[in-house]
Amino acid sequence: MDGVTTAIFLLLLAIICLSLTFTASDKGQLPPGPKPLPILGNLLQLRSQDLLTSLTKLSKEYGSVYTVYLGPRRVVVLSGYQTVKEALVDKGEEFSGRGSYPVFFNFTKGNGLAFSNGDRWKVLRRWSIQILRNFGMGKKSIENQILEESSFLLEVLRNTEGKPFDPVFTLSRSVSNIICSVIFGRRFDYEDDRLLTIITFINDNFKIMSSPWGEMYNIFPNLLDWVPGPHRRLFQNYAGMKDLIARSIREHQDSLDPNSPRDFIDCFLIKMAQEKQDPLSHFQMDTLLMTTHNLLFGGTETVGTTLRHTFLILMKYPKIQARVQEEIDRVVGRSRSPTLEDRVSMPYTDAVIHEAQRFADIVPMNLPHRVIRDTPFRGFLIPKDTDVITLLNTVHYDPSQFKTPKEFNPEHFLDANQSFKKSPAFMPFSAGRRLCLGEPLARMELFLFLSSILQNFTLEPTVKPEDIDLTPISSGLGKVPRPFQLSIRAR
C-alpha cells in the first residue's frame, strides 16, 4: 500500500471504530441525546449558534440530563436548578472531577489547581485554601488592602474629569492588584509593565476563549492547531504569562527566607523544599507555575467582567443606581469608606450585587466537570470519566427559582420586609466540591469596589439608557459585555 492508500484505510478504520463506539455505548443507560455522526459528533446540531444557545435548546428537546458529542468527545449536559444541584451538591464527590478543556489543557497539561484531578487536586486545593486564608482571604487584612486599592482606583476615576473612557483596563488593574499582592507579596504601580502585561494577556485570552474560535478549539483542538486564526494567540499569551511568572519565582528564590514567607509563592517554594525527597510530592515547579496562573486568571478577569456588567446595568437603570447611592449615604455617609461590616445594613446594595451576578451569569456553562466513578443519576448511568457540563445559565434563569428571570430585578434577593434574602439558585461561583476557591475574596472585592465608587461618583452613559444593550458580545467560557464608554460625575 502506498502512503495515500494507507491514510485512507486508516481514516475509514477510525470512522468505523468511532461509529461502533457511539452506537455501543449509547445502548446502555446513558441519558438520551441527538444521534452523533462519526468524528463530527453532534456538530450539525451545534453549528448555527453559540454553544450555550445550542446546548440550552437541546435541553428543551431532550430534558435536563442528556448526552451530546462535542466532536468525538461524549459529554453529559445538565440543566435547571434541581438537576445541577443534585449533581454538584448532593453527589458532589462523584461529580468532582475536572473535565477536558482544551483551551486550557494544551497549556496546563492537567497540572495546577484548577485543572488537575484526583489526589493532586485534593492536596493542592486543601493547601491553597489554607495559604490564601493565612494571607487574609476573607479577613480584615485583605479588606484593608482592597480599601487601599479602591482609593487608588477612585483617584484614577477622578482624574478622568468627566471625560468618557473605556473602563476595561482601569478596573482590571485594581482588581488584579489584589490577587497579585497575595501571590507576589506586592501591589504594582498602575503603569508597571508587569501588571499591564498580566491584564493584557488575561483579557485577550478570556475574550478568545469566550468567542466561537475558543469554542471550536474545545471541540477540535488537534485540527485547529493547524488552522490559522486568533485562537493561536492563546498559546502565545500563555507563554508570555509563563515567562513573567517564572521570572518572579526566580526572584523569590533569590531572596527567600524560609522562616518568614512573604506570599503564596514563598509558601509554595518552602513546601517544595520540605517535600524534596518525596518522589510522589505534588509540590513541583511546574505545578507552582500553573497554580499561580490559575489564581491570576481566576482573580482578575472574573471580578473585572462582573464590575463591567454591573456598570452597564446601573447606567441602564439610573433609579436603581440612585437607590444604592441613597443607601450608601444613609448607612456609611460621605466622610469614611464603606467597610464589610456595613454590608448587613445595606440589603439593597447587597441584593443589587447578587442580582447583577445572577443576571450577568458570567461563567454560563461552568468549567467542565467529570464523574470520577460510574454514577447512577436520575435513572441513568453516567460512565466513569464522562465529562459533564452544568449549565449554570439555566440555573440563573430558572423560572422555578426566580420570579422574573429575564429581567434585572433586585427583588429576587429581597424579602417582603426588604431584608436581604439568599437564593439556593445563586451559583455564579458554582457549587459543591469544585466551588470557586476565590469566592470570599471576589465577594469582598465586588462590595467594596462598587460601594466606594458609588459613594463618590455617579456612572453616566454616553448613550441614552434605553439604548444600552445588556446582552453579551460572546458567551463561551465567559459572558463578555459589549465594549462601552462611560463618564464619571463626582457627587
- Residues interacting with ligand HEM, by CB under 6 A? 113-114, 125, 179, 294-295, 298-299, 302-303, 306, 362-363, 366-367, 428-430, 434, 436-438, 441-442
Minimum CB distance to ligand HEM, residue 396 (Å): 11
Nearer to ligand HEM, 224 or 360 (CB): 360
Q: What is the DSSP string of 349-388?
A: HHHHHHHHHHHH-SSTT-S-EE-SS-EEETTEEE-TT-EE
Kindly give, in sequence order, each residue whose CB lies less than 8 Å from that of residue 202, ignoring residues fewer than 6 positions away: 172, 176, 237, 241, 296, 297, 300, 301
Specify the pairing of strand 73-79 against strand 387-391.
Answer: parallel
Nearer to ligand HEM, 18 or 303 (CB): 303
| Residue least distant from ligand HEM (Cβ) | 438
Nearer to ligand HEM, 429 or 457 (CB): 429
Nearer to ligand HEM, 338 or 428 (CB): 428
What b/e readout covers 326-337, taking b as 16+ CB neighbours within 10 angstroms? ebbeebbeeeeb
Cα–Cα distance measured from residue 353 to residue 321, given in angstroms and rounded to the nearest whole number: 11
Cα–Cα distance measured from residue 51 to residue 317, given in angstroms and rounded to the nearest whole number: 30
Minimum CB distance to ligand HEM, residue 16 (Å): 36
Nearer to ligand HEM, 36 or 167 (CB): 167
Residue tagged 452613559 (cell numbers)? 461
Minimum CB distance to ligand HEM, residue 287 (Å): 13
Edge-first strand order for the sheet with 97-98 is 65-70, 73-79, 387-391, 369-370, 97-98
Nearer to ligand HEM, 63 or 440 (CB): 440
Minimum CB distance to ligand HEM, residue 45 (Å): 25
Q: What is the DSSP string of 312-323?
A: HHHHH-HHHHHH
Minimum CB distance to ligand HEM, residue 434 (Å): 4
Helix axis angle, 193-210 to 168-184, nearest 10°: 110
Nearer to ligand HEM, 36 or 80 (CB): 80
Kindly give, in sequence order, each residue whose CB lies less than 8 Å from that of residue 33, ignoring residues fewer than 6 positions away: 42, 58, 62, 66, 67, 68, 69
Cα–Cα distance measured from residue 54 to residue 49, given in angstroms and rounded to the nearest whole number: 6
Cell of 189: 504601580
Cα→Cα distances 152→170, 189, 203, 299, Å: 10, 10, 21, 18
Nearer to ligand HEM, 114 or 245 (CB): 114
Question: Strand pairing partners for 314?
Answer: none
Helices (H), 361-478: 392-396, 439-456
Flag whether 436 is marked binding: yes
Nearer to ligand HEM, 224 or 301 (CB): 301
Q: Are 389 and 371 in contact (CB under 8 A)?
A: no
Nearer to ligand HEM, 36 or 97 (CB): 97
DSSP state letter for 420? B
Minimum CB distance to ligand HEM, residue 125 (Å): 5
Q: Are 393 and 53 in contact (CB under 8 A)?
A: no
Minimum CB distance to ligand HEM, residue 44 (Å): 29
Task: Name the binding residues.
Answer: 436
Task: Name the binding residues for heme.
Answer: 436
